[in-house]
Chain A
Amino acid sequence: MRLSPQSGEIIDRSSPLPFTWNGKPLTGHVGDTIVSAMAASGVKVFSRSLKYHRKRGILTANYLDPNTILQVDDEPNVRAGHRRLEAGMNVSSQNTWPSLEFDVKSANQAVGRFLAPGFYYKTFISPRPMWPMYQRVLRRFSHGGRIDDQVTSDHYDKRYAHPDVVVAGAGPAGMAAAIAAAKAGASVMLVEEEYRLGGHLRYGSADDLEALATLLAEVEANNNIEVLANSVVGARYDDNWIMINQRDPGHVRERLISARAKTLVVAAGTIERPYVFEGNDLPGVMLSGAVRRLINLYAVKPGERAVVFTANPEGDLAAQDLSRAGVEVVEVVDARSGGDLVGAKGRGKLSTVEVGDRSVDADLLVTSVGWTAPTSLLNMAGCRPVYDQGAARFVPTDLPDDVLVTGGMVGDGSTEQLVAHGSVIGTNAAARALKIRARWQRLTPSALPPALVEVVEESAPDLLPQAHPELYRASTHGFVDYSEDIKSKDLISAANEGYNLMELNKRYTTVTMGPIQGKLEVANAVAIHAEATGRSIAETGTTTWRPPYAPTSLGALSGAEMDPVRYSPMHQWHVARGATPLVAGMWIRPEHYGDPAAEVRNVRAKVGIIDVSPLGKLDLRGTDVPKLLNFVYTNKWSKLTVGSVRYGVMCAEDGVVMDDGVVGHLGEDRYLMTTTSGGAGLVWNWIDDWLQTTHPDWDVTMTAVTDGFASINIAGPNSRELLGRLTEVDLDKEAFGYMKVREGTVADVDGCVIWRIGFTGELSYEVHVPAGYALHLWKALMEKGQDLGVAPFGVEAQRIMRLEKGHFIVGQDTDGLTQGFSLGLDWAIKLDKDDFAGKPELEWQAADGVQSRIVAIQPVDPTVVPEEASQILEGTDIVGRITSSRMSPTLGRSICLGVVADHLKEPGTILNVRLGNGETAKAAVMEHHAHFDPQGERLRG
């Protein structure tokens, strides 16, 4: 029922918002939460509990309410105690069947004794083959809403920020801290989980509201403060890397802010604890904060006849609020003078409260039994809270210098005391932040000198937790964890079963592991575990808080797509030509232009050009380049003459092949190294490592020129004729033989490097052209080669042709265990060299015998193309695998490369290849790696 206007209410009564609850039309106001609007319309039951399907009503009336997690339209698990009502929302209950009022699974209550902790573990452990069936059935019993799988996308965003100070929590202390820090010259992010700033002042007295108005005006007037409402600091990582989840910032559903703050002020306040007693989950049993929020913010009357159980001033205030709202407060039980509850009774809703040996009729029971500091962020900063028995709460200690804490987490006080403490902490946070800022500026190369604003730190006034009775459980048993339906009895029986450490008990019973993640119930769980094990609460300690503090959607974590993509200068030409794009690492490459087999035939018969720009290219200069090459490659490099090219394989220190490529000796002390496209970055870093850390004495200068040059390979019998039309460089086969390199002008572009090498097995030239002129050269080749039959070919055609030639690809035909000799590289591994990377392991591989070999394989049935990664079997043993396979357009049959156990390497060996369809295909080991032109006559022609 809606009350007459309240002085602090935040609803706009002039604007009704229609919505539905389980199909029934209701109305609320702008400013209402979903729950306050429903409560104003008389709704008492909001959900059914997880295991026993008990009816549940409002407990806290805010984000942490475990009983009001609802489905809103297509969005499951909405915290309806927090989420603002919008017109037209379709709100429904979750996990109830057939309805919230009549739920068949509530039969679980009757068999509740079977649902003791560990019930699922113990019951469904065997027989093992039944697991999938158990899974299907049990899933229907699980909690949570419905996901609409028709919704294919939504928008989320990310932001990076560099504030001086982040303040987590905008109650009076947090706001005061933000104001003081901003005044001291720091940039401040003030983050508040609620839609409105002010914390408990929002639902307080007239004085509280006046203090709030003053603070709000100061916050709004200060340009150094960025306010993030309806947002939450989810995590604090090393060096104050802070994750802030900004809900509904307007343009997207959620935005994840990663902030590198210099200091963090935690002013998260305190969370009210429920009390454990029989019937404590009945609809009508609420915390004092819930009734104060309902009455003062939303003008909702929470009941008609109330019993109030109070142990602190907030409970007293709740009793006053209730009286003012016209609720009949039939009894106030004061724990400070020894009063206690026994239990609550009712069928689906509260009807009687048992106090001592008396029964009191009531439809509302309000408890106010203590406060828990949500020390999550402090724990992430290394703080371990200690238990203060006199105040019945954990208090933070041992903070690092760049994390400060203020407000209710530190202690209790008047608004003035909280503001005074917050101000000093804010000033100190700014002082430390500005020192760090100046240090960072000093360390960053810049023309501007750092401007250090000196702020003097002050000592904070005392803010101590007030004395409070230790109240966790009454003489009866009740629910500890509402989300997981864990009772105090369950915790005790788990402790008795041997789960006698808090962390073990937690994992066994799943207490504190539900959607609320222990924020309400952790202190109660610890106290009851302590009681069961005969230890003190201080000895028991709390469970560990891990990030994130609050739920974060996967969409927010994923965020906007920000991966960089690289294109060659010819990319748009490929697109215009209808090329199928291929994602290759960061590059987008043309896979083919329609028919890769035709592209292969054209190269073999005429001439083709391929864009191989992603090829890694490293310019090496200096007198010691041969030393470097000798060290990083397995073969010898000292005698490579100017104008010559050599192939080399690189192994890591474990002897595993990491890359291969060719190096050309361009001029005196001048070399150009190429790497595989995928290995370009790796090799660059690898060489830098050796040059910087092991051989700084070597005269070698390395420059990565992968993007500086684009690369085009011209392949096929007509390639000499085609290139010859565009360059003065002498291409005569005697003057410019196989494995030679020249520099010159091509298509009027100076500074091109021409290599005569051939991955495809054809006569071919690879031209490295300054990237800005690459498209010009590409177009010139297409134009000048028309009569020669020139056509572009893509990565797929190149892969087919290299397989026809038996060239392996590092990473395709090798894996993380393939050592050099397994590739048949005996000719390219020179163990008589003094030293090179990977030499010891390769020496031992040679000495111990090579376990596996790469071989060319042809299925006996030429139409069978085994899938790549097909296993090669000997009986039931796996003795190898197919690493590459294709149908060869040139040979008209299937061809493969594969890895086999050493004893199967001899040519003519027949292998059993297990195909994807379960059949076995016979395949023969070939004499040469090359299926086509094994003598290399075309290549050298």
Chain B
Amino acid sequence: MLLIECPHCGPRNGTEFTYSGKIQPRPVMKGSDFEARAEWRRYLYEEDNFAGFAKERWFHGNGCRKFLDIERHSVTNEISSVSPAGEAS
């Protein structure tokens, strides 16, 4: 089980957190043509699934209830940084 170093609570078991998706801006929808739908559905459903450090959003729901920005290696599970959502350097 992962150990995540929450910037508010300290190191906590991964089960206290839930994965909340990749960090990405929510597209502003204009129109409903094919392109617009494709862009929206890429945002909603498509994951890059690449090997390496991925920028992810996690939610410390059974802790401080803060959303966090986490860089996690998708192969080794190594976590290189954890910061409050939107505050990553």
Interface of A with B (CB < 8 Å)?
A: 237-239, 241, 260, 382, 440, 443-445, 653-654, 685, 688-689, 692-694, 696, 835, 839-841, 843-844, 847
Asked if B86 contacts A696 (CB within 8 A), the reply is yes
Asked if B1 contacts A241 (CB within 8 A), the reply is yes
| Bound Cα distance from A696 to B36, whole angstroms | 27
Nearest opposing residue in chain A for B4, CB measure: A239
Question: Which of B3, B66, B77, B86 has the largest number of chain A CB atoms within 10 A?
Answer: B3
Contact residues, B42-86 vs A (CB, 8 A): 44, 57, 59, 61, 65-67, 76-77, 85-86
Pairs A-B, 8 closest by C-beta atoms: A444-B10, A239-B3, A241-B1, A840-B29, A443-B10, A692-B67, A693-B85, A440-B11
Asked if A238 contacts B14 (CB within 8 A), the reply is yes
Q: Which of B1, B8, B14, B32 contacts A844 (CB 8 A)?
A: B32
| Bound Cα distance from A444 to B64, whole angstroms | 13
List 22 A–B pairs whose Cβ atoms lie within 8 Å, in order of A's numbering: A238-B14, A241-B13, A260-B3, A382-B76, A440-B10, A443-B11, A444-B10, A444-B11, A445-B8, A445-B9, A445-B10, A653-B44, A654-B44, A689-B20, A689-B59, A692-B85, A692-B86, A694-B26, A839-B29, A840-B29, A840-B36, A844-B32
Given the known interface contacts A238-B1, A239-B2, A685-B59, the answer about A260 and B32 at a Cβ–Cβ threshold of 8 Å is no
Tell me how many residue pairs across A and B have CB atoms closer than 8 Å: 61
Instruction: List, in ascending order, chain A residues with CB within 8 A of B28's CB.
Output: 835
* B interface residues, tally (CB under 8 Å): 29
Instruction: List, in ascending order, chain A residues with CB within 8 A of B44's CB.
Output: 653-654
Binding site of A, secondary structure by majority: helix, strand, loop or mixed? helix
| Bound Cα distance from A668 to B66, whole angstroms | 27
Instruction: List, in ascending order, chain A residues with CB within 8 A of B14's CB.
Output: 238
Instruction: List, in ascending order, chain B residues with CB within 8 A of A841's CB.
Output: 40
Asked if A685 contacts B9 (CB within 8 A), the reply is no
| Bound Cα distance from A844 to B29, whole angstroms | 11
| Bound Cα distance from A205 to B3, whole angstroms | 45
| Bound Cα distance from A654 to B2, whole angstroms | 30
| Bound Cα distance from A382 to B29, whole angstroms | 44
| Bound Cα distance from A443 to B6, whole angstroms | 8
Instruction: List, in ascending order, chain A residues with CB within 8 A of B1's CB.
Output: 237-239, 241
Q: Decide if B5 is an interface residue (CB 8 Å cutoff).
A: yes
Nearest opposing residue in chain A for B11, CB measure: A440
| Bound Cα distance from A241 to B1, whole angstroms | 6
Instruction: List, in ascending order, chain B residues with CB within 8 A of A694's CB.
Output: 26
Given the known interface contacts A238-B14, A693-B85, A844-B32, the answer about A688 and B65 at a Cβ–Cβ threshold of 8 Å is yes
A457 to chain B minimum Cβ distance, whole angstroms, is: 21
Instruction: List, in ascending order, chain A residues with CB within 8 A of B65's CB.
Output: 688
Instruction: List, in ascending order, chain A residues with CB within 8 A of B76's CB.
Output: 382
Asked if B9 contacts A444 (CB within 8 A), the reply is yes
B46 to chain A minimum Cβ distance, whole angstroms, is: 13
| Bound Cα distance from A42 to B59, whole angstroms | 64
Instruction: List, in ascending order, chain B residues with CB within 8 A of A688's CB.
Output: 59, 65, 67
Given contacts A238-B1, A840-B40, 10 further A-B contacts (CB under 8 A): A237-B1, A238-B3, A238-B77, A443-B5, A653-B44, A685-B61, A688-B59, A835-B28, A840-B32, A847-B32
B34 to chain A minimum Cβ distance, whole angstroms, is: 11
| Bound Cα distance from A239 to B57, whole angstroms | 20
Nearest opposing residue in chain B for A848, CB measure: B32
Instruction: List, in ascending order, chain B residues with CB within 8 A of A843's CB.
Output: 29, 32
| Bound Cα distance from A525 to B2, whole angstroms | 34
Q: Which of A238, A653, A693, A835 contacts B57 (CB 8 A)?
A: A693
Nearest opposing residue in chain B for A160, CB measure: B13
Nearest opposing residue in chain A for B61, CB measure: A685
A653 to chain B minimum Cβ distance, whole angstroms, is: 6
Instruction: List, in ascending order, chain A residues with CB within 8 A of B86's CB.
Output: 692-693, 696
Instruction: List, in ascending order, chain B residues with CB within 8 A of A443's CB.
Output: 5, 10-11
Instruction: List, in ascending order, chain A residues with CB within 8 A of B66's CB.
Output: 692
Instruction: List, in ascending order, chain B residues with CB within 8 A of A260's CB.
Output: 3, 13
B38 to chain A minimum Cβ distance, whole angstroms, is: 12
A508 to chain B minimum Cβ distance, whole angstroms, is: 29
Instruction: List, in ascending order, chain A residues with CB within 8 A of B32's CB.
Output: 840, 843-844, 847
Nearest opposing residue in chain A for B39, CB measure: A840
Nearest opposing residue in chain A for B6, CB measure: A443
B72 to chain A minimum Cβ distance, whole angstroms, is: 10
A694 to chain B minimum Cβ distance, whole angstroms, is: 7
A9 to chain B minimum Cβ distance, whole angstroms, is: 43
Nearest opposing residue in chain A for B18, CB measure: A685
| Bound Cα distance from A917 to B20, whole angstroms | 44
A903 to chain B minimum Cβ distance, whole angstroms, is: 24
| Bound Cα distance from A847 to B67, whole angstroms | 35
| Bound Cα distance from A835 to B26, whole angstroms | 12
Instruction: List, in ascending order, chain B residues with CB within 8 A of A847's CB.
Output: 32
Instruction: List, in ascending order, chain A residues with CB within 8 A of B59's CB.
Output: 685, 688-689
| Bound Cα distance from A847 to B66, whole angstroms | 37
B29 to chain A minimum Cβ distance, whole angstroms, is: 4
| Bound Cα distance from A847 to B34, whole angstroms | 13
Instruction: List, in ascending order, chain A residues with CB within 8 A of B11's CB.
Output: 440, 443-444
Instruction: List, in ascending order, chain B residues with CB within 8 A of A445's CB.
Output: 8-10
B36 to chain A minimum Cβ distance, whole angstroms, is: 8
A130 to chain B minimum Cβ distance, whole angstroms, is: 42
B68 to chain A minimum Cβ distance, whole angstroms, is: 10
| Bound Cα distance from A237 to B1, whole angstroms | 6
Given the known interface contacts A238-B2, A443-B11, the answer about A844 and B20 at a Cβ–Cβ threshold of 8 Å is no
Instruction: List, in ascending order, chain A residues with CB within 8 A of B8's CB.
Output: 445
| Bound Cα distance from A445 to B37, whole angstroms | 46
Instruction: List, in ascending order, chain B residues with CB within 8 A of A382's CB.
Output: 76
Nearest opposing residue in chain A for B87, CB measure: A696
Instruction: List, in ascending order, chain A residues with CB within 8 A of B37's CB.
Output: 840, 844
Instruction: List, in ascending order, chain A residues with CB within 8 A of B36's CB.
Output: 840
Asked if A689 contacts B9 (CB within 8 A), the reply is no
Nearest opposing residue in chain A for B67, CB measure: A692
Instruction: List, in ascending order, chain A residues with CB within 8 A of B67's CB.
Output: 688-689, 692-693
Instruction: List, in ascending order, chain A residues with CB within 8 A of B77's CB.
Output: 238-239
Instruction: List, in ascending order, chain A residues with CB within 8 A of B3's CB.
Output: 238-239, 241, 260
Instruction: List, in ascending order, chain A residues with CB within 8 A of B29's CB.
Output: 835, 839-840, 843
B4 to chain A minimum Cβ distance, whole angstroms, is: 9
B49 to chain A minimum Cβ distance, whole angstroms, is: 19
Instruction: List, in ascending order, chain A residues with CB within 8 A of B20's CB.
Output: 689
B27 to chain A minimum Cβ distance, whole angstroms, is: 8
B39 to chain A minimum Cβ distance, whole angstroms, is: 10
| Bound Cα distance from A412 to B32, whole angstroms | 71
